[in-house]
Structure 1
């Protein structure tokens, strides 16, 4: 695969499931605003089929957005990684060319989403789920000043691994089973990385909502998810905010090769992307 030049105009989001993804709406609106004749689609690709699908791409392809369950596989295939991808072991953006560059824009996207939602002042948090997005959430929370977190996962080994990661980045972590009915200690913020279809016993959701502070739910389809519906007395921020802000960083990468270099008329690009979500 040669370097992605001006003729490399194909992009897509891959994952499984993928039909719910709003990324084509966001990217399409941004490319039109920027005057870019780029095509951005979606394709259902599972973990077993990822390597073959990636190897089949030709020089028309500029890059990929990756969602679950592909973030670890993308990390393994990248030749070069940005800091957040190295730290979390997860890649949600691939820039294709002579080498494959991997980025994690979820960290910055979540940070921006929490700040935009007025949730950036939390000092204690609960993270639900134990996958790649949970690791990105921990990095984002640490950078916002959170120094204590409760981790709730379905499997004990997942909790232990995630707790070890939290400790390595300077966050004090405790763990509990996701479906535990014991009333947890209060926290300022809950970050749920669970799928939108995930269900928990009513008593568990009530306990989490009553002690969980504000809620950020990384999932946005279906909406409201059962957990979101239980959150009746505190602010809730949808995962669409994270999707929006991480997508801006992806577009910077696809255009400039740099997640920190702003787009031309970035405020206007953000406006049309947000309108596409409505």
Structure 2
């Protein structure tokens, strides 16, 4: 029997999810599995999903579908529920839709690669740049790493509702600081871990805050953007002496977890990493 999976989003043509999942299928010998790509907007998601047959195993979801998928799911896994975003839909017998979130796993594993021996959790300070769905996932990821009171740097505190609601569900207490606040530089330079969830170019204004900074190699920045690497912020952070975790590591590890959820087999990290690096080089 053929099994189908795909990535959905709008726009989605740039997605490297097909590269990752197809590499996994090839390495695992899953010759009956196919992974596609479909441009689907919020208004079309429900009809698209309901139109799929029982050969479908799962869907990867990118922007702007993560909240829509939450409402569409018949059952939402606890982590996705607390984050408030679904980036993975799993099809179960009888048409049951399970909503999951692998972004948290991706962020945690990407940071662990950059900081294999982190300092004591209770001594760490974290900063999240941005206030959308991925920022909510970063909040949960930092919590797993022992950082329960990070600072959220956002363009407007009034637009940080997604993160605020997620924080309330998690029982954590982030502090909210606007990007133009005089405190932004001190918070950024004093962080042990920074996760930038801003779209490409949206955090470029922070480059000026890193001018003349002297960071420690133990201070790590994960920028979730994986195209046009390094981003301006990542390049400035590295120039100041800090360590960086490329966004493609988050992409890799969240896909590894999706493969496990969809196929029931452990995602082959080495094969998927090799395919991803080749695609980025091309």
Contact conserved, 2:132 with 2:160, CA < 8 A, in 1? no
Distance 1:83 1:33, change over 3 A: same
Q: For 1:59-78, what per-residue CA distance to the aligned partner results, in whole angstroms no more than 9, with x for missing partners?
A: 33221000111111111111
Q: Between Structure 1 and Structure 2, which shows a larger proportion of helix residues?
A: 2
Q: 1:39 to 1:168 in 2, by over 3 A?
A: closer
Give unmatched runs, 5+ long, in structure 1. Answer: 1-6, 257-261
Q: 1:189 — aligned with what?
A: 193
Secondary structure of 1:136's aligned partner: helix
Alignment of 1:52-201 (within 5 A): 52-97=47-92, 98-118=95-115, 120-121=118-119, 123-159=124-160, 162-163=163-164, 165-166=166-167, 168-180=169-181, 182=183, 183-185=185-187, 186-201=190-205
Secondary structure of residue in 1 paired with 2:245: strand
SS at match of 2:228: coil
Corresponding residue for residue 5 of structure 2: 11
Number of the residue aligned with 2:280: none
RMSD: 2.2
Shift of 1:211: 8.1
Say if 1:196 and 1:223, in contact at 8 Å, map to a contact too. no
CA contact (8 A) 1:167 1:173 kept: no
Residues 76-95 of structure 1: CA deviation (Å, up to 9, x unaligned): 11111112111111111111
> How far did residue 152 of structure 1 move?
1.2
Indicate which of 207, 220, 224 corresponds to 1:218: 224
How far has the Cα of 1:52 moved from its partner?
2.1
* Cα distance in 1 for residues equivalent to 2:15 and 2:214: 31
Task: Report the CA distance between 1:207 and its aligned residue.
Answer: 1.5
1:253 aligns with 2:257: no
Query: Tell me, which stretches of 5 or more residues in structure 2 are unaligned?
Result: 278-282
1:237 CA drift (Å):
0.6
Residue correspondence of structure 1 range 226-265 to structure 2 within 5 A: 226-231=232-237, 232=239, 233-256=241-264, 263=266
- Indicate how the Cα distance of structure 1 residues 170 and 177 shifts in structure 2: closer, same or farther if over 3 A, else same: same
- 1:207 matched residue in structure 2: 209
Q: SS of the residue aligned with 2:137?
A: helix
TM-score (norm 1): 0.86
Distance in 1 (CA, whole Å) between partners of 2:162 and 2:109 is 26
Post-superposition shift, 1:158?
A: 2.6
What is the distance in 2 between the residues matched to 1:101 and 1:8?
Answer: 20
Q: Distance in 2 between matches of 1:41 and 1:8?
A: 13
What TM-score results when the alignment is normalised by the length of structure 2? Answer: 0.85
Corresponding residue of 1:30:
24
Q: 1:72 and 1:83 mapped to 2: Cα distance?
A: 15
Provide the secondary structure at the position in 1 that maps to 2:6: strand
- C-alpha distance in 1, partners of 2:99/2:214? 37
Matched pairs, number? 261
Distance 1:170 1:87 in 2: 10
Kindly indicate whether the alpha-carbon contact (under 8 Å) linking 2:133 and 2:162 is maintained by their aligned counterparts in 1.
Answer: no
The 2-side partners of 1:56 and 1:272 are apart by 32
Cα gap change, 1:158 to 1:151, in 2 (>3 Å): same
Task: Look up the match of 1:273.
Answer: 272
Q: Distance between the aligned counterparts of 1:167 and 1:58, measured in 2?
A: 38
